[in-house]
A and B are shown apart, each in its own frame.
Chain A
Amino acid sequence: MFETISNWIAALLTLFIFSFLYKDNPFYRFAEHLLVGVSMGYFIPLVYNNAFMPFLYTPIFLQHKFILIIPAIIGTFYIFRFNRKLSWLSRYPIVFGMGIIGMGVPMSMHASVLVQMRSAMLPIIDINIFLIFIGTVTILLYFFFSKSHEGLYGKFTRIGVWFMMIGFGASFGYTVMARLSLLIGRIQFLVGDVLKIIQ
Chain B
Amino acid sequence: MNFFERIQALDRRWIYLLVALAITVPLVLVFDSKTYTTEPTENIYQLIDSFSGRDDRAIMINFMHDASTMPELFPMEVAILRHAFLRDVKVFTICFTPTAAPLVDYAINTVKEEFPDIQSGVDYINIGYKPAALYLPIVLGMGDDIAEAVETDAEGRQIANLPMMENIQNYNEMNLVIETSGSSFGAMWYIYARPRFGVNVAAGITAVMAADAYPFLQTGQLIGILAGLKGAAEYEKMVDLFAAQDRPFSRERAREEHVSITDDAVLYKFRVARIGMNAQTVAHILIIVFIIIGNVGYFFEKQREKKV
Contact surface of A with B, Cβ cutoff 8 Å:
21-22, 43, 46-47, 50-51, 54-55, 100, 103-104, 107-108, 110-112, 115-116, 118-119, 132, 167, 170-171, 174-178, 180-188, 191-192, 197-199
- A181 near B23: Cβ-Cβ < 8 Å: no
Interface presence of B28 (CB below 8 A): yes
Distance in angstroms between the alpha carbons of A132 and B217 in the assembled complex: 14
Contact of A107 among B156, B195, B209 (CB under 8 A): B195
Measured CA separation A167–B227 after assembly (Å): 16
* Across-interface contacts of B98 in A (CB, < 8 A): 43, 46-47, 50-51
Complex Cα distance, B96 from A47, in Å, reads 12
Main secondary structure of the interface of B (DSSP, over half): helix
With the chains together, A198 CA to B23 CA distance in Å?
Answer: 14
Please tell me if the beta carbons of A198 and B221 are within 8 angstroms of each other in the complex: no
Report yes or no: A198 in contact with B268, Cβ–Cβ below 8 A.
yes
Q: Residues 137-151 of chain B: 1 if any A CB is under 8 Å from the residue's CB, otherwise 0?
A: 000000000000000
Minimum CB–CB distance for A41 against chain B, Å: 13
Check if A107 sits within 8 Å of B215, measured CB to CB. no
| A21 and B71 contact, Cβ closer than 8 Å, known pairs A177-B280, A187-B24, A198-B28 | no
Could you tell me if A107 and B27 are in contact, using CB atoms closer than 8 angstroms?
no
Which residues of the partner chain A approach B221 to less than 8 Å between Cβ atoms? Answer: 111, 115
Select one of A50, A118, A191 contacting B27, CB under 8 A.
A191
Contact of B129 with A by CB under 8 A: yes
> Which residue of A50, A55, A170, A177 is within 8 Å of B230 (Cβ)?
A177
- Chain B residues lying within 8 Å of A182, measured Cβ to Cβ, are 68-69, 71-72
A46 with B99, Cβ < 8 A, contacts A111-B190, A178-B208, A187-B24 known: yes
Is there a chain A Cβ closer than 8 Å to B18's Cβ? no
- Within 8 Å of chain A (Cβ to Cβ): is B192? yes
Encoded as 1 (CB less than 8 Å from any A CB) or 0, chain B from 172 to 197 comes to 00000000000000010011101100
8 A Cβ contacts from B197-240 to A: 206-212, 215, 218-221, 227-230
For the complex, give the distance between the alpha carbons of A50 and B134 in Å.
14
Inter-chain contacts of A132 with B (CB < 8 A): 218
Contact of A111 among B156, B191, B218 (CB under 8 A): B191
Asked if B64 lies at the interface with its beta carbon under 8 angstroms from chain A, I say: no
* B16 interface contact, C-beta 8 A: yes
User: Chain B, 156-180, contact with A by CB distance < 8 Å: what is the 0/1 string?
Assistant: 1000000000000000000000000
Residues of A within 8 A of B23 (CB): 180, 183-184, 187
The verdict on B121 contacting chain A, using a C-beta distance below 8 Å, is no
| CA of A161 to CA of B229, assembled, Å | 30
CB distance from B108 to the nearest CB of A (A): 17
- CA–CA, A183 to B209, complex, Å? 18
Q: Which residue of A lies closest to B287 (CB)?
A: A176
Q: Does any Cβ of A come within 8 Å of B304's Cβ? A: no
- Residue of A104, A115, A170, A191 ringed by the most chain B CB atoms within 10 A: A115
Cβ-closest chain A residue relative to B13:
A22
Is A174 a contact partner of B191 (Cβ separation < 8 A)? no
Complex Cα distance, B195 from A110, in Å, reads 9
